[in-house]
Structure formats: C-alpha cells, structure tokens
Amino acid sequence: MGKVGVKLAVGCAVAACVVASVMVGRRVRRKRAWRRVVRVLEELEEGCATPVGRLRQVVDAMAVEMHAGLVSEGGSKLKMLLTFVHNLPSGSEKGTYYALDLGGTYFRILRVQLGGQRSAVIGQDVDRRPIPQHLLTGTSEVLFDFIASSLKDFVEREENVSERIPSERRELGFTFSFPVKQTSSSSGILIKWTKGFVIEDMVGRDVSECLQQAISKKGLDMRVNVLINDTVGTLAVGHYHDEDTVAAVIIGTGTNACYLERADAIIKCQRLLTMPGDLVVNMEWGNFWSSHLPRTSYDNDLDADSPNPYDQGFEKMISGMYLGDIVRRVILRMSEELDVFGLVSSKLHVPFILRTPLMAAMHEDDTPDFREVAKILRDTLEFSEIPLNVRKLVVRVCDVVTCRAARLAAAGIVGILKKIGRDGSGGIASGKNECASRSEMRRTVVAVEGGLYTNYTLFREYLNEAMTQILGEEIAPNVIIKVMEDGSGIGAALLAASHSTSSVDTVQIP
Ligand code: ADP
Ligand code: MG
C-alpha cells in the first residue's frame, strides 16, 4: 500500500471512530434524558397517590368541614349554602314548565310536560347551545339579553299556540350553577364566579332579577319561580324517581354537591328556618380543602395561573375544566427534559389547549400502537413523530391524573354519607357501635350528573371502584350511584312545578 493509501485508511478509521463515538454519546445522552422523564412520571405518581387510607382521611376531613360550615358562617371553606328548597317534587306535579340551565360550557333550555304520575315526564324538548366565549367576560346585561333572546326563540318554536291558555303565565325554573346566597327559593345573590366566568357587575346582584328583567324586556310572559343550582336540580330529579336519593353530585366542567340535611343540624341559620324536617344544602364542595389532598407542583402552578388562585382547590383537581390542563403541564415538563417529543411545541405552552375530552380520548385509546394518542398530539399540540414509548408515557400521565380525580370525588361522596350517617359507620357525631350500624345500613342513592362522569368510562370506573374500597364490600352494595341525564335542567322544571302553587318562603339573609 502506498503512502496515500495508508493515509486514506487511517482517515476512514478516524472518521468511523468519530461517528461511532458521536452516536454512542447521543445514545447515552438520550438514555439519561429518558431516565429523567421517567423520574418526572414517578414523581407525578407519588404526588398523586390515593391509597385507601388517604382517601379515608379525605372522607373524615369532608365530614368535619361540612359540620364546621353548618355551625357558623365562614366556619369552613365549604360554604354549605341554604337553598330554601324543602319541598322536593312528589311525583304528582302536572302541566308544562320551562327550565334554563346555565353554568358551564353550554346552556340549555328545556320544556317539560308532567303527567302527574311519578316517573311520567311525558314530553321534553331541549335546546343546547354553547355560550359564546366573549359573553363570559362581558357585562351581565349582554349575557342575559342573549339568554332571554334564545329563550324567546325556543318558546316561539316549541309552543303550539292553541295549546296554551293565554291567562296562564309560563313558569320557569332557573338553574344557575355558581355560588349564590339564596334569599328565598326563587331569589339569590351571586357570591362569586367560577369556571372561567368573570362578569364583575353581576357579583352581589340578584340573579333571578337579572333574568326576569331581560325576559320582560323581550316581551315574554314568563315568571322565574325557582332559582337553584345544578346539584339541587339533580337531587330533585333523583328524588322524583327514587325516594332513597339523599345527595346529588355534579362532575362536569365544574364539580359540586348538595344533600338533604336535618334542619336542626343547620346551626348557623336556626332563626331563619321556620319548617322542621329536611332541607337541601348546597355544599359548594369545589372549594373544599384539606391537607390530606394529594397535591403536586402542577396543581400549584395551575392554581397560580388561574383567575381565582387559592379558590376551588378540590374542583381544580377533579373537574373537566382542569384535568386536560394538568396533563398538558406534565407533558410540557417532560418535553423540557428530553427532545423525545421533537422540538418543544409552542402549542404546549398554551393554557387549556388540551381539553379534557381529548385527554380522555388518548387515555382510552385501545389501538395497539396508540394511533389516536399520536393523532391528538399531532393535531392539537403540533408534535411530529411520537415514538411508541412516548405515546405510552402520555397515556400513563392521563391515567394518573384521572385516577386521582375520580378517587377524590369518591372520597367526597362518602364524606357526605358519613356526615348524614349513611356510610355504615354511624356518622361523625354518633357513638353507636359500628357492628350495629352496619346491619342497619339503609339503601342510599346518590344522583350524579355531568359530562365528565357520563362520558369518560375510565373516570367512572375509578370512581366506582374507590367507593367500594372506601365503604368496604359489605356496605358498598347499599350505596347506589344513579346517573341523571339532564338532571340539572329537568330538576329545575320539576321544582318550578312543585313551587308553582306552594307559598314561597322569603327570608332576608343579613
Ligand atoms: P356543564 O358542566 O358545562 O354543564 P356537562 O355536564 O355536559 O356540561 O360537562 C361538560 C364537561 O364534561 C366538559 O367541559 C368536559 O370537561 C367533560 N367532558 C365532556 N365529554 C367528555 C369526554 N368524552 N371525556 C371526558 N370528559 C368529557
Ligand atoms: Mg351542567
């Protein structure tokens, strides 16, 4: 071999070595980075862990906070609001009633015909529309004018002119699912907005009055005769169909619960309560807080970036408005650790871009190569090629976030049951021995409504599984969760009917 040949051979060998070492170096770096990403996942799993022992602590904390919220105004982060609803529909209601359901992504208008026999809702028309985004942050006048116009259109479209007696005024139940301080069963003052609504001029004003004025301005002959929130509507429908229904829970864009409480247990309002028996209490449980809740840095960041920091802590860990965004934050953190996601997508920095239904679709992707996950990451977050192991990682993140949410919601439900002595343990204030109360455990129904629970199968399964784990195999069969489709709207119409002739209990709350 001549000199040139030797030089060439040496040169090639050196080049091969350089290429090999670059490749090895890259592989080592990639491996290390992958390990860091897996560590991010492990930390998430640890931070979100909800072993049954911890859930039982949440149950106890919920029951204790409920009690504190009933003893004094401001005694707990749970507002435990009085609703003035004590006559739940009996099943004998007759006639045609309207309902308006405002409180989340959509608003719904309903027209319900009642036949006078339990379970006989003989006709029902529904109009469901998204609330235009700009109305969430405008003025109350613009919002209610829009709603009243929609209501008028609906009435004109659905009503057969001949079937109506002109002297009869239409009656409407208004479901308004934000924290309201009721002053009667048909009026109440907005305490604060949640779920992305920010209309400052409404806070402190009577919600029914705003709607009534807008309706009258449109020349529509209709009276707002009951003001409730979605939980109360769902409880009303649940009770209409099954008298063992004691509580209702909403798990949709937001989350909240109400339940039937003994009037004498509502210590803070004793002088306002003129009737004995049970009364519906709106817990506003989205604001529940306890040191036992498993919280992560992602929750802290989401809270700090939200328009209502330190508020609605339970809701921000559970409801559909937030789950997708928790997942987005975790993926963002992972993508900063490693370029497995391709170049960090700028879309990944956009808050709420990954909506919960998309997150659910990734979580429930059952194709062998997680094709749906890749498609959603590509279409929504503009990621390019996503390797299979990364797709699996994303599914795992969705699983951890949803599992925690569903199990916490289950703990909240058992907390309510504990407060009213329906969890088989004899309740928080009872000195009864456990064995005796186990044998006395009555059939207990909890009505549930909301898109997260009804549309997201894995969420539902996690929640149901946790209920059994917390209550135990022996007690759990006595507690039945029943889905009430459109409960919040139909319930308002049912309550409009049950309050149609009864006198309205008006009380001035200081
Ligand atoms: P709202 O709470 O606005 O009254 P819904 O009860 O229908 O309305 O709940 C809608 C919410 O449910 C959505 O904001 C979304 O977070 C969640 N959701 C709807 N569909 C799905 C789905 N397929 N998977 C997971 N979550 C869903
Ligand atoms: Mg709703």
Q: Which CA distances in Å does 424 have to 240, 278, 417, 441?
A: 25, 20, 9, 6
Of 393, 489, 413, nearest in space to 453 by CA: 413
* Residue of 60, 76, 108, 140 marked catalytic: 108
Specify the pTM. 0.89
Amino acid making up residue 96: T
Nearest-atom number in ligand 1 for the CA of 251 is 6
Q: In 10 A of CB 283, how many CB atoms?
A: 29
**CB of 55 closer than 8 Å to CB of 411:** yes
- pLDDT digits (tens), the chain, 510 positions: 556 555 656 555 655 555 556 566 778 888 888 999 999 999 999 999 999 999 999 999 999 999 999 999 999 999 999 998 887 887 888 888 999 999 877 889 999 888 877 655 666 677 888 888 889 888 999 999 999 999 999 998 887 655 666 667 899 999 999 999 999 999 999 999 988 888 999 999 999 999 999 999 999 999 999 999 999 999 999 998 899 999 999 999 999 999 999 988 999 987 766 667 789 999 999 999 999 999 999 999 999 999 889 999 999 999 999 999 999 999 999 988 876 666 667 799 999 999 999 999 999 999 999 999 999 999 999 888 889 999 999 999 999 999 999 999 999 999 999 999 999 986 555 444 444 445 568 999 999 999 999 999 999 999 999 999 999 999 999 999 999 988 888 999 999 998 886 433 333 333
Query: Is 426 in a helix, a strand, or coil?
Result: coil
Q: 371 catalytic, yes or no?
A: no
Task: Establish whether residue 253 lines the binding site of ligand 1, counting it when its CB lies within 6 angstroms of any ligand atom.
Answer: yes
Q: 108 catalytic, yes or no?
A: yes
Of 228, 226, 266, 230, nearest in space to 249 by CA: 230
Task: Establish whether residue 489 lines the binding site of ligand 1, counting it when its CB lies within 6 angstroms of any ligand atom.
Answer: no
Q: State the Cα–Cα distance between residues 195 and 200, nearest whole angstrom.
A: 14
Among the bound ligands, the one closest to the CA of 354? 1
Q: Edge to edge, what strands does the sheet with 255-262 contain?
A: 81-82, 278-282, 255-262, 245-251, 444-449, 479-483
Task: Establish whether residue 356 lines the binding site of ligand 1, counting it when its CB lies within 6 angstroms of any ligand atom.
Answer: yes
Task: Establish whether residue 146 lines the binding site of ligand 1, counting it when its CB lies within 6 angstroms of any ligand atom.
Answer: no
Among the bound ligands, the one closest to the CA of 234? 2
Q: Helices in 341-484 by DSSP H: which ranges?
A: 356-363, 371-381, 388-419, 434-440, 451-455, 457-471
Tokens 């604060």 label which residue? Answer: 192
- Conformational region of residue 30, where left means phi above 0, alpha means psi within -120 to 50, and beta covers everything else: alpha
**Cα 451 to ligand 1 centroid, rounded to whole Å:** 4
Q: 329 catalytic, yes or no?
A: no
Query: Is 448 in a helix, a strand, or coil?
Result: strand
Of 477, 457, 408, 409, nearest in space to 250 by CA: 409
**Cα 104 to ligand 1 centroid, rounded to whole Å:** 9
DSSP 383-416: -----HHHHHHHHHHHHHHHHHHHHHHHHHHHHH
Task: Establish whether residue 324 lines the binding site of ligand 1, counting it when its CB lies within 6 angstroms of any ligand atom.
Answer: no
Nearest-atom number in ligand 1 for the CA of 320 is 16
| β-strands 255-262, 278-282 pairing | antiparallel
Q: In 10 A of CB 300, how many CB atoms?
A: 11
